Amino acid sequence: MSKYSDYNFQPFLREAIKELGFTEPTPIQKEMIPLILKGKSAIGQAHTGTGKTHSFLIPIVERIKQDEQKVQAVITAPTRELATQIHAELMKIIEKTDIHAKLFIGGTDKQRSIDKLKSQPQIVVGTPGRIRDLVKEQALLVHTASILVVDEADLAFDMGFIEDIDQFATQMPENLEMYVFSATVPESLHPFLRKYMEAPVHIHMNDKKPVAENIDFYLIPTRSKSRNTKLLEVMDAINPYLAIIFTNTRKQAEAVANFLSSNGKRVGRIHGDLTPRDRKKMMKQIRDLEFQYIVATDLAARGIDIPGVSHVINYELPQDLEFFIHRVGRTARAGNKGLAITLFEPSDEDAIVRVEKMGIPFVPKDIKNGEIIEMKERHARQNREKKVDEIDQIAKSRVRKPKKVKPGYKRNMRWEMDKIKKKERRKRNRNR
């Protein structure tokens, strides 16, 4: 189907799609919507920002039997923020229907969640741990649900939530349809997939350009300075509308945020050590534009929608380089331009080369007198060293050890080699 008007959806759904402003399905939506409508289990592998949320919400809503008040579909997301966003998008679609949907996430009163389940919702959205708890309490009855969606499955695995999903998925029907969405499908996830999915269709959106075209990628060396000092220089050289500074650990995020605060910067922070109340408050402050900078772990790189991010700063390269794509994908959204700045040290060289092979076109830059300046090509020094090595090889190949050695033969060989090296350098300089 090339347009949404080509689908034979129910009138309310057609109207909802129109109000969302959707006219043409995205590539992942074109592939997944027909599969879910037919009830064929599938794995949708796509990067963030490809429209995958609506690729499962739209067909699921189309299939809900409004006259049957029982759980028909369960949608899980690994973070509270992502689950909340999915639920908010779902509510826009079902606003003018009798479909009941409920959100269940950690950090909220469990008893209140149980009280909400006196009548079972038709669609459940939530975090794996809270859904598991409600099923265990026999408050949420998932044995009637024929559809299970696992969003951001690789992140769910990394955060240890696949076991929670496994616990309540075993209580779902034997002919369960499962739809797994993930940016990557690591080998460690395969046993779980094999347990619940028999010959699933694997939709792999082989996007050769995994990040938006309107992002510039600056690579800035720390040189002899600390990352904190260089970070301050970068922050003073740019004037972002809103910038996210990514670190690898919660402890590092706190340390960087405290350092910036002590230097007069008003900084928000997002990481897993925040209490549910603090996280909710922080997200509200961020959306109210109370901060110009947010220090975050990779929790914010996956699924959390922070509008208006003009800059992404990688304080350090992610330990899992796949997350580089997710981090920079926070900027240049909705057709806007973005700038991704990465701080690096010589020890990061191998990781940078691997990121470049992922299609990231780094441009070497530096900070001078408070401004971002052009820098010589990053490999210039390596190329110079390579040329020196070539000259050494030429000299060694032309000077042979004499068959009969005499005292001082090594010194004579070095003299001969030095003469050849000088001659070779002069020759190369003339040819420049």
pLDDT of res. 383: 47
228: part of which helix (H) or strand (E)? Answer: helix 227-237
Q: Which two tokens stand for residue 238?
A: 């740019």
The arithmetic mean of pLDDT across residues 124-146, rounded, is: 96
Query: Domains in the chain, start-ordered, CATH in brackets?
Result: 4-204 (3.40.50.300), 215-374 (3.40.50.300), 380-430 (no CATH)
pLDDT of res. 333: 77
pLDDT of res. 368: 92
276-280 long-range contacts, CB within 8 A, separation 24+? 276/80, 276/106, 276/107, 276/108, 277/107, 279/80, 279/81, 279/107, 280/107
The arithmetic mean of pLDDT across residues 210-226, rounded, is: 86
* 3-state SS record for 277-298: HHHHHHHHHHHCCCCCEEEECH
pTM: 0.66
* Confidence grade of residue 416 (pLDDT, cut at 50, 70, 90): confident
Tens of pLDDT, residues 259-290: 999 999 999 999 878 887 888 899 899 989 99
pLDDT of res. 106: 86
The Cα angle at residue 31 between residues 42 and 90, in degrees rounded to 5: 80
pLDDT of res. 431: 52
Tokens 């409600």 identify what position?
134
Number of residues written out for the chain = 432
Closest-CA residue to 141 (of 112, 180, 168, 174): 168
> What percentage of the chain exceeds 90 in pLDDT?
57
pLDDT of res. 381: 46
Tokens 């990779």 identify what position?
298
The arithmetic mean of pLDDT across residues 20-41, rounded, is: 94
The arithmetic mean of pLDDT across residues 167-194, rounded, is: 91
Beta-carbon contacts of 397 under 8 Å, excluding residues fewer than 6 positions away, are none
Tens of pLDDT, residues 59-103: 999 999 999 999 999 999 998 888 998 999 999 999 999 999 999
Closest-CA residue to 423 (of 401, 389, 394): 394
294: part of which helix (H) or strand (E)? Answer: strand 293-296
Closest-CA residue to 231 (of 197, 187, 262): 262
The per-residue pLDDT of the chain, averaged, comes to: 88
